[in-house]
């Protein structure tokens, strides 16, 4: 289907971001620059190539594109490959307060340029302690970036499925300490070996929700790789979990907001192409979906491209995006006054 809207028009539509991972959204140029400064080896001599083209912008941008394609191709075909790529290429260069702050600021600025009017940025602070930072020292620059962001922003703290209640307790405390800036305590990572809604995380998420008087709510990556079960639905209900990351499998979403990331699901081989994705069918049946990227590095996408994909594949238009953004706004974590202002921006942006 040919798009009725130009890319520039779609870029200007106001958008809210519910589901994007900080470490999946780092610019390839930054990774090359920091690896070359830190003397870190990259396969394919990319760091050397980068150093050799320092005075030639066009050549440097070609190296960055080639490098992005290289890391993106390594991340394809499974969620495990995708998660491994984060550890191989991104985490080594995100281990100082300065790098955390500068990349978070850069992400908020790029989001603004992409038409986002707010962004919840998720990350796992425990992965940024490789050079000895404490959880608190990781959080400080990220919270500072939220405060300095050109658009309203919140953080989401992710525990990972292979972790345990002991680390979950510390991450829960981190959420409680920063609850003004942390919208969710999330569970991320591969469902394959650790499916469902694990009790160690659900209990910590419930503790956080109670201690922050509902300010920091649970969200969970679910039904991305594995089909829903009765036990999943029972625990979601029991622990009042109303936001799912992905959640595109099955028909057990109920009234929960599901942040769907089509290109990411194609990259990790959960679906073969956009037309096979359930987002449109679920939306038409009344499910509360919203549109997200998961990240920009391995998927080589952004919000504008995801919207364009929906326009071209399913014929979505402004009224559909208004609805999905209102769904996203309901789980944005902002106070009532900020939500009212953002809702007004959405309604006027999609009015014409």
Contacting residues toward Zn ion, per CB under 5 A:
245, 294
Reduced to 3 states (helix: H, G, I; strand: E, B; else coil), residue 144 is: helix
Q: Which is nearer to Zn ion, 245 or 289 (CB)?
A: 245
Q: How far apart are CA 129 and CA 136, in angstroms?
A: 10
Beta bridge mates, 135: none
Q: How far is CA 214 from the centre of its chain?
A: 22
Q: Which is nearer to Zn ion, 36 or 305 (CB)?
A: 305
Q: Which is nearer to Zn ion, 91 or 144 (CB)?
A: 91
92 contacts 40 by C-beta, under 8 angstroms: yes
Residue 21 C-beta: closest distance to Zn ion, Å? 5
Residue 157 C-beta: closest distance to Zn ion, Å? 13
Q: Which is nearer to Zn ion, 202 or 261 (CB)?
A: 261
Residue 338 C-beta: closest distance to Zn ion, Å? 24
Q: Which is nearer to Zn ion, 47 or 183 (CB)?
A: 183
Q: Which is nearer to Zn ion, 49 or 305 (CB)?
A: 305
Q: Which residues contact 102 (CB under 8 A, 6 or more apart)?
A: none
The C-alpha angle with vertex 95 and arms to 90 and 101, in degrees rounded to 5, equals: 95
Residue 257 C-beta: closest distance to Zn ion, Å? 14
Residue 190 C-beta: closest distance to Zn ion, Å? 11
Buried b (16+ CB within 10 A) or exposed e, 235-272: bbeebebbbbbbbbbeebbeebbbbbbbbbbbbbebbe
Residue 191 C-beta: closest distance to Zn ion, Å? 11
Beta bridge mates, 294: 20
Q: In 3D, which of 102, 98, 94 has the Cα closest to residue 124?
A: 94
Reduced to 3 states (helix: H, G, I; strand: E, B; else coil), residue 221 is: strand
């Amino acid at each position: 289907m040919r798009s009725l809207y130009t890319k520039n028009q779609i870029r200007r539509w106001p958008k809210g971001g519910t589901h994007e991972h900080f470490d999946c959204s780092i610019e390839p140029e930054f990774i090359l620059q920091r690896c070359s400064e830190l003397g870190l080896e990259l396969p394919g001599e990319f760091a050397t190539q980068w150093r050799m083209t320092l005075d030639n912008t066009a050549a440097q941008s070609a190296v960055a594109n080639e490098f992005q394609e290289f890391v993106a191709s390594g991340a394809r075909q499974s969620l495990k490959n995708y998660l491994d790529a984060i550890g191989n290429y991104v985490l080594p260069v995100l281990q100082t307060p300065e790098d955390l702050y500068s990349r978070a600021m850069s992400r908020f600025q790029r989001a603004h340029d992409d038409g986002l009017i707010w962004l919840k940025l998720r990350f796992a602070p425990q992965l940024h302690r490789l050079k000895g930072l404490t959880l608190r020292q990781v959080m400080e620059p990220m919270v500072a970036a939220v405060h300095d962001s050109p658009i309203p922003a919140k953080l989401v703290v992710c525990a990972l499925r292979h972790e345990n209640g002991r680390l979950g307790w510390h991450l829960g405390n981190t959420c409680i300490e920063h609850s003004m800036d942390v919208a969710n305590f999330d569970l991320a990572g591969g469902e394959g070996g650790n499916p469902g809604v694990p009790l160690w995380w659900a209990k910590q998420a419930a503790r956080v929700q109670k201690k922050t008087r509902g300010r920091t709510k649970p969200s969970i990556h679910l039904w991305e790789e594995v089909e829903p079960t009765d036990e999943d639905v029972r625990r979601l209900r029991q622990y009042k979990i109303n936001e799912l990351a992905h959640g595109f499998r099955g028909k057990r979403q109920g009234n929960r907001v599901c942040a769907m990331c089509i290109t990411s699901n194609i990259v990790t081989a959960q679906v073969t192409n956009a037309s096979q994705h359930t987002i449109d069918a679920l939306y038409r049946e009344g499910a509360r979906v919203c549109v997200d990227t998961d990240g920009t590095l391995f998927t080589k996408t952004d919000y504008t491209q995801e919207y364009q994909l929906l326009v071209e594949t399913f014929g979505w238009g402004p009224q559909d995006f208004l609805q999905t953004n209102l769904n996203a706004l309901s789980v944005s974590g902002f106070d009532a006054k900020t939500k009212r202002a953002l809702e007004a921006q959405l309604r006027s942006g999609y009015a014409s």
